[in-house]
Each structure stands twice: as structure tokens, then as C-alpha cells.
Amino acid sequence: MIVHYGKYSSISIEHCSKVYGPAEDTFLIMDNMIPGTNVLEVGCGTGIISVYCCKLGRKVTCCDVSQDARNCCERNAIRNHVDLEIIDSQLFNRIEGRFDTIIFNPPYLPTEDRYEEASQWNGGAEGFDVIRPFLKGASEHLEDHGSIYIILSSLTDISTLIDEFSQYTFLEKAKQSFFFETIYLYQLFKRNAP
């Protein structure tokens, strides 16, 4: 199925089996981020955010541990006539270099669902099983003047995460509320960058 999304109707996205499709959290990022010139998207899924950044004229690298997601992202890049680098990587384990913008829409729900596709949203009991290693690895790939955009959920203890990762300044950029949760887009900066 090929979909065009409202204000992003110039982007044509194929929805792919076993790949997290664009949703409210995706558009919260796209509506509120200002990407730098050299962008890394971690966990690219369909690739809509990476494609959007390419269309803004940014140099984009993206990665996903899922072969289905990487294939889907590649097809969507071709469909939208953009050139981006797609890497097979679990978080940063195959990423080289530094970026001025790192984007991550993580699995953030506090659940321990064990079936295959749950990895798209399963953040473990606290919701931070993927977010913690991401934040630990991100700083060595982030330019000193750069920033990280990440989605967090009110179903988790965000204040504990902020205290734990005091090497970053957390700035709430936007939020969207639903009957059962609020999702937040945070922009993070290195706290003691020169």
C-alpha cells in the first residue's frame, strides 16, 4: 500500500509488512525538528523521516537492525528519488563518524511483549531497554554543537531517565496527548560541549 500524508503529500511511502508505519510519533518529529546538515536516523523503519530530511537538502545516513525495514526504506528512497545511506546496524554498532543531528523514534512502551513484531514498540518493563543503550552510545557520534531528537512516553518515568543521563540537556520540543498517554519530542544537547 502506497500512502501520501497531508502536509507531506510530496512524499510517497510504501507500507511494508513487519515494519513500523508512520504514526503520530513520526509526525511529531517531522513537524517539530530542524535537522542539521549531516543527519543520522537510528531505526529508520519505512524511511519517511530520512526521506523528508533528504528532500530538505540534508546528507542522510540511516540504520535499522531489521532487514525488512532496510529493504522498505530503500524502496521508499528510490520511490522518492533521494539518495541516502542505509546501514545494517543495531543502534550504533556499525555507525562511523559524527553527525549534527541524530533522530530516534524508539520502542518506548513499558511492556515485555515477546512476539516478533513487538520489537517495534517493546521498551521492556520500564520502557527504556533500547533508549538507555542508545543514549549511552549517542554522544560519541554527536557533534559538540549537534542535537538529538527522541520520542518519550508519559507511561515511563522520564524524570528518572533525565537524571540518569545528566550529560545531556533535555529540552521538551512538543507533545501530543491521547486518552491513555502523552508522547513527547525531546531535543537533547551535550551539556558541557565547548
pLDDT digits (tens, 9 = 90+) for 57-69: 999 999 999 999 9
CA distance 17 to 23: 15
**Predicted local confidence at residue 137, as pLDDT:** 97
CA distance 33 to 38: 14
Positions of the chain with pLDDT under 50: 115, 118, 120-121
**Predicted local confidence at residue 4, as pLDDT:** 73
Which domains are assigned to the chain? Answer: 2-190 (3.40.50.150)
Q: Which residues contact 122 (CB under 8 A, 6 or more apart)?
A: 107, 109, 111, 112, 113, 129
pTM higher than 0.85: yes
CA distance 177 to 42: 24
